[in-house]
């Protein structure tokens, strides 16, 4: 690999930084979300469950609130009780949601006190002792959520509560963030108590839900990129270890994951085995600041009016590497059914042109304009993999639920372009290295496979662009909820 090819992704990430101010897959990717991090969707995953004995299920993961630092107290990363978080499924192929899973959150202050000079005084901290179980008496803020399935249009369809299969309750406890080892001596065991079997309306088999803080599953090299691409070139013309330099800038960051495991049979519809999905977050249209908030959580403002969508995420890196800066907020408020307005960003992408300006013959942009290969990857699905016979072009993550699961040890981190059709862009598994995949696809890798174009259309299509931040299935657990235990705020109990 040439020196320039090695630098390919860092330059791409630099352009992403210049264009969007982004800090990862979808971290801080639009101007509005930099001001509203609680509704910032960072990554979305959808894949056939590869946990042993669970291949008849589909796992959906929507991550929010990126770039969480472990020691981020005393107010940790609560979800927004005034927001509506949703996962949408199109099982017809018409670019409209037909199933929507809605999450709403509540933050319940227990107002724990300690006696001081004969008075019981409210404490300023999240907890007053060790936490070992849901709703522990030592936990000052107990967060919970409800889960609803809407069939049809997300705002006018039929809404039915999803319930706990164990007791029929409609409210689920959410684990507190990983404050540290003294507060949470065994966070993994504590968080596992918040995995619930659920009854899904219209579904005869129980699914699962988990919502809580996890180690950020995304990997990307940002440090050297933001320092004017200050990354050492390989010592030789070809460096066989260039993909695995350990340059993950998010190694110590957490996110909040909204995770579902749903029987495949309950997700597919008239579109056959292929389903599409995306996640959104919405806020109320009106916000009135309270100049004199009361002595409780959530009284600093009053929210009202209709829901207004402010975040949208399906395929990774779209709003970073494809959508122009002027339209990033607009894209986040849009629906897949209206994606024709963004078509030119896919058929006439700017990133390959910018790379060619910077690197000349070492990064020649594909010549097949319009880029039908990118239309397949982003808007329709790939023929023979995850495309319906009839489909409305629209941006979402698409999964063919009839393609067999690949066991973790056999998964290719490069998914379809490496012959593993159970991986990205056929859905997205945690171990799919979408940065390396996306950059290679943008530079024409699908042309080398005769998908939407021919090899001669992509002079740089065979170049293995990489950021040196390696990712594969070994970074994750092999069972639900798959994502690793979050980085603790303090590692040593005092």
Q: What is the DSSP string of 163-215?
A: EETTT--S-EE-PPP---TTT-TTHHHHHHTT-EEEEPTT-SS-EEEEEEEEE
Q: How far is CA 178 from CA 12, 68, 125, 194, in A?
A: 34, 11, 14, 14
- What is residue 106's predicted lDDT score, i.e. its pLDDT? 96
- Weakest mean pLDDT among 165-174, 238-247, 249-258, 376-385: 238-247
Angstrom distance (rounded) from CA 47 to CA 103:
20
- What is residue 393's predicted lDDT score, i.e. its pLDDT? 94
Q: How many residues does the chain have?
A: 494
493 pLDDT higher than 60: no
On whether the CB atoms of residues 49 and 468 are closer than 8 A, the answer is no
Residue entry with tokens 């990205």? 424
- Weakest mean pLDDT among 81-85, 203-207, 448-452, 471-475: 448-452
- Weakest mean pLDDT among 80-89, 202-211, 461-470: 461-470
79 pLDDT higher than 60: yes
On whether the CB atoms of residues 478 and 484 are closer than 8 A, the answer is no
Paired residues of 197 in beta bridges: 208
- What is residue 321's predicted lDDT score, i.e. its pLDDT? 75
* Res. 444 pLDDT band, cuts 50 70 90: very high
- What is residue 5's predicted lDDT score, i.e. its pLDDT? 34
Cα Rg, the chain, nearest whole Å: 23
* 127 phi, psi to nearest 5 deg: -145, 160
- Weakest mean pLDDT among 107-116, 225-234, 356-365, 388-397: 225-234
Angstrom distance (rounded) from CA 147 to CA 210:
11
DSSP state of 441: H
Q: Across the chain, how many H-helices and E-strands are there?
A: 12, 16
- Smallest CA-to-CA distance from 104 within 158, 156, 172 is with 172
93 pLDDT higher than 50: yes
* Res. 204 pLDDT band, cuts 50 70 90: very high
Q: How far is CA 45 from CA 61, 270, 320, in A?
A: 5, 22, 17
38 pLDDT higher than 50: yes
- What is residue 492's predicted lDDT score, i.e. its pLDDT? 60
Among residues of the chain, what percentage have pLDDT more than 70? Answer: 88
Residue 402: partners with Cβ closer than 8 Å, 6 or more residues away = 273
- What is residue 222's predicted lDDT score, i.e. its pLDDT? 66
Residue 344: partners with Cβ closer than 8 Å, 6 or more residues away = none
Residue scoring higher pLDDT (82 or 73) = 82
Among residues of the chain, what percentage have pLDDT more than 90? Answer: 69
Q: Is cis: bond before 74, omega within 30 of 0?
A: yes
The vertex-282 CA angle with 260 and 213, nearest 5°, equals 45
* 421 φψ region: left (φ > 0), alpha (ψ -120 to 50), beta (else): alpha
Angstrom distance (rounded) from CA 127 to CA 137:
9
On whether the CB atoms of residues 196 and 166 are closer than 8 A, the answer is yes
Number of neighbouring beta carbons within 10 Å of residue 392: 18
On whether the CB atoms of residues 139 and 193 are closer than 8 A, the answer is no
- Smallest CA-to-CA distance from 195 within 171, 211, 178 is with 211
Burial label for 120, CB within 10 Å (0-12, 13-18, 19+), is: exposed
* Res. 52 pLDDT band, cuts 50 70 90: very high
362 pLDDT higher than 80: no
End-to-end CA distance of the chain: 49
pLDDT tens by residue, 181-200: 999 999 999 999 999 999 99
- Say whether 149 sits in a helix, a strand or coil: strand
Angstrom distance (rounded) from CA 475 to CA 205:
30
* Mean pLDDT rounded to a whole number for the chain: 88
Angstrom distance (rounded) from CA 159 to CA 263:
19
- What is residue 408's predicted lDDT score, i.e. its pLDDT? 97
Residue 456: partners with Cβ closer than 8 Å, 6 or more residues away = 447
On whether the CB atoms of residues 107 and 81 are closer than 8 A, the answer is yes
* Res. 166 pLDDT band, cuts 50 70 90: very high
Angstrom distance (rounded) from CA 155 to CA 307:
9
The encoded tokens of residue 165 equal 């299969």
Q: What is the mean pLDDT of residues 230-258?
A: 67
- Weakest mean pLDDT among 120-124, 310-314, 359-363, 406-410: 359-363
- Smallest CA-to-CA distance from 112 within 84, 99, 131, 132 is with 131
Within 270-371, residue ranges assigned H as helices are 318-321, 328-332, 343-347, 350-359
């Amino acid at each position: 690999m040439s020196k320039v090819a090695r630098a390919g992704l860092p330059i791409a990430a630099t352009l992403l930084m210049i264009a969007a101010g982004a800090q990862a897959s979808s971290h801080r990717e639009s101007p509005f979300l930099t001001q509203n991090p609680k509704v910032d969707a960072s990554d979305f995953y959808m894949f056939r469950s590869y946990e042993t004995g669970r291949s008849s299920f589909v796992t959906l993961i929507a991550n929010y609130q990126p770039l969480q630092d472990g020691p981020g107290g005393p107010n940790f990363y609560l979800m927004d009780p005034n927001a509506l978080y949703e996962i949408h499924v199109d099982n017809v192929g018409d670019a409209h949601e037909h199933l929507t899973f809605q999450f709403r959150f509540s933050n319940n202050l227990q107002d724990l006190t300690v006696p001081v000079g004969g008075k019981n005084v409210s404490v300023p901290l999240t907890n007053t002792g060790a936490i070992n179980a849901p709703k522990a008496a030592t936990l000052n803020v107990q967060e919970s959520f409800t889960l609803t399935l809407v069939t049809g249009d997300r705002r006018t369809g039929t809404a039915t509560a999803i319930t706990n299969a164990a007791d029929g309750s409609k409210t689920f406890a959410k684990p507190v963030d990983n404050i540290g080892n003294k507060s949470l001596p065994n966070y993994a065991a504590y968080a596992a108590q918040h995995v619930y079997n659920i009854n899904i309306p219209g579904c005869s088999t129980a699914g699962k839900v988990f919502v809580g803080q996890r180690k950020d599953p995304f990997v990307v090299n940002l440090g050297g990129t933001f320092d004017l691409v200050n990354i050492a070139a390989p010592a030789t013309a070809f460096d066989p270890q260039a993909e695995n330099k350990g340059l993950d800038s998010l190694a110590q960051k957490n996110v909040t994951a909204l995770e579902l495991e749903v029987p495949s049979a309950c997700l597919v519809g008239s579109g056959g085995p292929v389903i599409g999905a995306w996640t959104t977050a919405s806020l109320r249209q009106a916000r009135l600041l309270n100049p004199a908030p009361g002595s409780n959580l959530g009284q600093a403002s009053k929210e009202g009016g209709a829901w207004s969508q402010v975040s949208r995420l399906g395929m990774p890196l779209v709003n970073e590497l494809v959508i122009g800066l002027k339209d990033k907020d607009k894209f986040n408020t849009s629906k897949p059914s209206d994606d024709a307005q963004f078509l030119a960003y896919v058929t006439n992408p700017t990133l390959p042109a910018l790379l060619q300006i910077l690197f000349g013959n070492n990064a020649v942009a594909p010549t097949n304009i319009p880029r039908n290969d990118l239309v397949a990857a982003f808007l329709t699905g790939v023929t023979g993999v995850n495309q319906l016979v009839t489909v409305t072009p629209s941006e979402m993550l698409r999964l063919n639920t009839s393609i067999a699961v690949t066991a973790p040890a056999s998964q290719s981190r490069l998914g379809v372009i490496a012959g593993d059709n159970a991986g990205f862009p056929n859905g997205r598994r945690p171990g799919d290295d979408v940065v390396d995949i996306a950059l290679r696809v943008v530079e024409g890798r699908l042309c080398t496979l005769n998908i939407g174009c021919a090899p001669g259309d992509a002079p740089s299509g065979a170049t293995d662009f990489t950021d040196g931040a390696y990712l594969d299935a070994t970074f994750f657990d092999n069972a639900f909820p798959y994502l690793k235990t979050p980085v603790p705020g303090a590692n040593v109990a005092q």
